[in-house]
Amino acid sequence: MTILIEQPILALESQFEGKNVHAEETNELVLDGGFLVPKDGFMTPEINAFGQSFRDYDVESERQKGVEEFYRLQHINQTYDFVKRMRKEYEKLNKAEMGIWECCELLNEVVDESDPDLDEPQIQHLLQSAEAIRKDYPNEDWLHLTALIHDLGKILTLPKFGGLPQWAVVGDTFPLGCAFDESNVHHKYFKDNPDYTCPAYNTKNGIYTKGCGLDNVVMSWGHDDYMYMVAKDNGTTLPSAGLFIIRYHSFYPLHKEGAYTHLMNEEDVENLKWLKVFNKYDLYSKSKVLVDVEEVKPYYVSLIEKYFPAKLRW
């Protein structure tokens, strides 16, 4: 099944063409075909649920101290060899067999310790993101579903799925096999990573070639890569942009800081446009105002049936 999607054009400086892709500055997002996100659509708030700036990793608080300790452990332990072992283990998809919505409900047991912006159960974050996108993009149902499922891989923290430590499941992702870019959050802790001094890995390209494509790059292991693996290997009919969002939505050094773009190919560049659209909703829709799960469930179940088999291997 092939799904054609319109490519978004963002009102910001293109990192890849060296020019502004928007003819004039507006507060609207324009998609091919003339579709506009209304000016009174989703507004990005300035503070998170704790009264602080979003993704502020420097502010002093008890939660921030925990977040920094999380990144210290992640940066030390996420090595190229570790990721290869994790991929080999989890590509077996032999942990469980269940449907997408059943997995959504499992997320009630998960709180993301790396997230400085919210401490609610993860199913609420999924629905908050999906509902915000649904309001502004009513015709892009694949994007609604992508938002709903993008964090399902966080079940890796649960005993049935390996009970992995949070540093091996959540947090910002980054490439292994090349130098750690300084745009990575709490970069200083990479100095204790065994890969940091490996000659094969500590140059800009490392083991890769320019323009090789992100599909050929080994990313730090976590819920992003795992959910991408589950969706792809179970035959989802989501478009490539949806799979790209699932796999790289935590790759903030790329889509927020513009790092590692030398590894991208043309398909990555096109899909990144949709990831940038998605990220606004992923980051800024986090709220203490909860979504009525039972009210919206029928709509999302219909999308699951459209794009996924009834049961998936996990």
Helices (H), ranges, the chain: 62-77, 80-90, 100-106, 122-136, 141-149, 223-233, 240-248, 252-255, 266-284, 293-307
222 is in an annotated binding site: no
Q: How far apart are CA 83 and CA 87, in angstroms?
A: 6
Q: How far apart are CA 57 and CA 65, in angstroms?
A: 9
Placement of tokens 């008890």 in the chain: 62
215 is in an annotated binding site: no
pTM of the predicted model as reported, rounded to 2 decimal places: 0.81
87 is in an annotated binding site: no
282 is in an annotated binding site: yes
292 is in an annotated binding site: no
112 is in an annotated binding site: yes
Name every residue whose Cβ is closer than 8 Å to that of residue 295 and which is 6 or more positions away in sequence.
Answer: none
117 is in an annotated binding site: no
114 is in an annotated binding site: yes
Residue 108 pLDDT: 82
Q: How far apart are CA 283 and CA 281, in angstroms?
A: 5
Q: How far apart are CA 311 and CA 235, in angstroms?
A: 11
Handedness of CA 36, 33, 301, 112 (dihedral sign): negative
154 is in an annotated binding site: yes
Residue 64 pLDDT: 78
150 is in an annotated binding site: yes
Q: How far apart are CA 76 and CA 55, in angstroms?
A: 21
17 is in an annotated binding site: no
* Tens of each residue's pLDDT in the chain, 314 residues: 444 455 554 433 333 333 333 333 333 433 333 333 444 454 544 443 334 444 454 555 576 788 999 999 999 999 999 999 999 999 999 999 999 999 999 988 887 676 555 556 778 889 999 999 999 999 999 999 999 999 999 999 999 999 999 999 999 999 999 999 999 999 999 999 999 999 999 999 999 999 999 999 999 999 999 999 999 999 999 999 999 999 999 999 999 999 999 999 999 999 999 999 999 998 876 567 889 999 999 999 999 999 999 999 99
134 burial via Cβ count (<10 Å: 0-12, 13-18, 19+): buried
58 is in an annotated binding site: no
Residue 233 backbone dihedrals phi, psi, to 5 degrees: -75, -15
**Cα 26 to the chain's mean position, in Å?**
27
Residue 81 pLDDT: 98
213 burial via Cβ count (<10 Å: 0-12, 13-18, 19+): middle
Residue type (1 letter), 96 = A
Q: How far apart are CA 258 and CA 177, in angstroms?
A: 19
**Is residue 143 within 8 Å of 133, Cβ to Cβ?**
yes
Residue 107 pLDDT: 86
55 is in an annotated binding site: yes
Q: How far apart are CA 233 and CA 309, in angstroms?
A: 11
Placement of tokens 């976590």 in the chain: 222
Q: How far apart are CA 19 and CA 82, in angstroms?
A: 40
Residue 305 pLDDT: 98
CB atoms within 10 A of CB 305: 13
247 is in an annotated binding site: no
Q: How far apart are CA 247 and CA 225, in angstroms?
A: 5
